[in-house]
Amino acid sequence: MLNFDSCNISDISVLGDCFLPNLCTLDLSIHSVTCVPSLDKYTNLEDLWFCGKVGTNIGIDSCRSIASLLQKEDCSLQHLNLNHCGVGDEEGEEIRGSLKRNSSLDLLSLYYSKMTEKGCSAFLKLLNDISSIKGTYTSNHTLTQLTLRNLFDEKTTAINKHADSAMVLNKIYDGDAHTVGRAKVIATQLNSNTRRELCQLQGID
């Protein structure tokens, strides 16, 4: 475990140059880092706390580095905190895209992100893709805790409600892909009112 909480670190490029094979927890909370090097070697990493100082922006290249780790088959990352990291829709899409096939990440916190309703809707689609029965069945069944942003207008509140419902099923069935997928199909595709709401939130005709 490496704990640099409140150390105001601004450069972590050394992580890309060295390798700590047994590193499971990296806490860089309250940092001012703007560039995250490749983390591909750190497949044993389980907890990455990367909460920045207010105004910190890690940028899309850093999100791609994190996404690359999440896409690895042997990725062990369970908890990822990117609060106050300036994650907008484009950066969020990098993270979201990496979670389509990820089966390790349980918690993702993007509080105080810069994502718009569009970006938040994309994460809802990750958890329950209402575009087709197959899409729902093959959605992400691993995440059980997701925080998107600190602004809660009517649409974002609705997005959070449906995302929470999907994550409750993920937790109940403990990531069992077949059982969770089937439960989501029954709960949403076969419920006309719920399906209509999800279609509206995900921009599906």
pLDDT in tens, 38-59: 999 999 999 999 998 888 899 9
- The predicted pLDDT at position 168 comes to 97
Cα separation, 185 vs 167, in Å, equals: 14
116-166: per-residue pLDDT in tens? 999 999 999 999 999 999 999 999 999 999 998 777 788 999 999 999 999
54-90: per-residue pLDDT in tens? 888 999 999 999 999 999 999 999 999 999 999 999 9
Cα separation, 18 vs 30, in Å, equals: 23
Cα separation, 37 vs 18, in Å, equals: 11
Cα separation, 202 vs 197, in Å, equals: 9
The owner of tokens 């390790």 is 104
